[in-house]
Amino acid sequence: MRYFIKLSYNGFHFKGWQKQKNNKLTIEEEIENKISIILNKPINLIGASRTDSGVHAKLMFAHFDYNNTINKKKFLYKINLLISSYIIIYDLFKVKNNVHARFSAIYRIYKYIIGYKKNPFYKNLYWYWKYKNKLNINLMNKAINIIINRKNFILFSTTNKKLKNYNCNIYYAYWNKKNKYIYFIIKSNRFLRKMVRFIISLCIEIGLNKITIYDLKNKIKKKKIFFNINIPPYGLYLKKIKYNKNIFL
């Protein structure tokens, strides 16, 4: 039987979602180990997304296979006692055996937060903008409209030989300011490795007038976007993942 778990996590203290060979602490490994202890059997956990080191998730799903029926109430109680205090498992439910946490997702939404106001109680939960120069939101929205008006995003991600293509369907992306905070929202059927942070970094450069809209168009035309990330990961959140309702049993 295939089970889905629904969870959230503060990723600041972890080296990303995916397990690593160097034994660094990851969210996938932390949860996988604790579920294996509870079920008294090694399990393989597959996440819906592979968030980078320091990135948070307000909503994440993952699946694992187990042959017996699991008592949900007891499982949730035990798992939340055992796992890190920076992770919470909200729900456990059965799905069809061919449903995949990653490949069955319809879309994902990411959110990035920048704050002009310092707040020590929310440290490492948003990027505190301590610089004198303010960001030009209008320019940043012009930039993002140019960036997302395409299918292939190879210029906006790290290369990966395992990928068949670099195509993404971005439904929308925009910058918005509310009170002392700036928010970036982006929705797509898939995201490439480091794609979101690279796009945000590029918009920041334009919002500071370090790169012009003309420069951006020219680089895209000549296929000369140079990969550069200059933003902290802890401002980024995996906000939502959507599946078809017919996956559930």
106 by Cβ neighbours in 10 Å (0-12 / 13-18 / 19+) ranks as exposed
Same domain? For 37 and 134 the reply is no
3-state secondary structure of 171: strand
C-alpha distances (whole Å) from 156 to each of 64, 146, 168, 188, 229 are 32, 12, 11, 14, 10
> Which residues carry out catalysis?
52
Q: Which of 172, 116, 169 is nearest to 144 (CA)?
A: 172
Pick from 103, 136, 155: which residue ends a domain?
A: 103
In this prediction, residue 76 carries a pLDDT of 98
> Is 206 a domain residue?
yes
130 by Cβ neighbours in 10 Å (0-12 / 13-18 / 19+) ranks as exposed
Give the DSSP H or E segment for 46.
Answer: strand 46-47
Same domain? For 89 and 140 the reply is no
Same domain? For 90 and 144 the reply is no
Query: How far is residue 47's CA from residue 64's CA, in Å, rounded to a whole number?
Result: 9
Give the CATH number of the domain where residue 184 resides: 3.30.70.660
State pLDDT tens for residues 18-57.
988 877 899 999 999 999 999 999 999 999 999 999 999 9
Give the CATH number of the domain where residue 94 resides: 3.30.70.580
Count other Cβ atoms within 10 Å, centred on residue 109.
19
Boundaries of domain holding 118: 107-240
Same domain? For 51 and 97 the reply is yes
CA 242 to chain centre: 13
- Residue 194 is given by DSSP the state T
CB 4 within 8 A of CB 95: yes
> Is 124 a domain residue?
yes
Same domain? For 125 and 234 the reply is yes
State pLDDT tens for residues 110-156.
999 999 999 999 999 999 999 988 999 999 999 999 999 889 998 88
Give how many domains the chain has, as a whole number: 2
Same domain? For 44 and 113 the reply is no
Asked if the model's pLDDT at residue 88 lies above 90, the reply is yes
